[in-house]
């Protein structure tokens, strides 16, 4: 049987591949599913602090995703001529 830790790790690899391919929005969604797996894993192990820290990280991830999706995040990966 596959554990939530292994499933979360596989999703993390898929998210990293999607990030590599430039599909950032899809990668963020996959990362959030990986986080859900890790929350379940921490909950099963009665790790309250682990669950709390993962939930805080997921909250920031969702907020960043929404900010990016709405176009309010004005960062780029490409250097402008003025930056050189």
pLDDT value of residue 80: 62
**Residue 80 domain-assigned (yes or no):** no
Confidence of residue 13 (pLDDT cuts 50, 70, 90): very high
**Residue 51 domain-assigned (yes or no):** yes
pLDDT tens, 22-81? 888 888 889 889 988 888 888 888 988 988 988 898 888 788 778 877 777 666 656 666
Whether 42 contacts 50, CB under 8 Å:
yes
Structural domain total, the chain? 1
Residues of the domain holding 45:
24-72
**Angle, in degrees to the nearest 10, between helices 4-20 and 24-44:** 170
């Amino acid at each position: 049987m596959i554990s939530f830790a292994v499933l979360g790790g596989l999703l993390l690899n898929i998210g990293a591949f999607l990030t590599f391919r430039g599909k950032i929005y899809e990668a963020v969604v996959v990362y959030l599913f990986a986080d859900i797996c890790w929350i379940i894993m921490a909950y099963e192990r009665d790790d309250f602090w682990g669950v709390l820290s993962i939930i805080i990280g997921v909250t920031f991830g969702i907020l960043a995703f929404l900010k990016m999706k709405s176009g309010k995040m004005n960062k780029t990966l490409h250097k402008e001529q003025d930056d050189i």
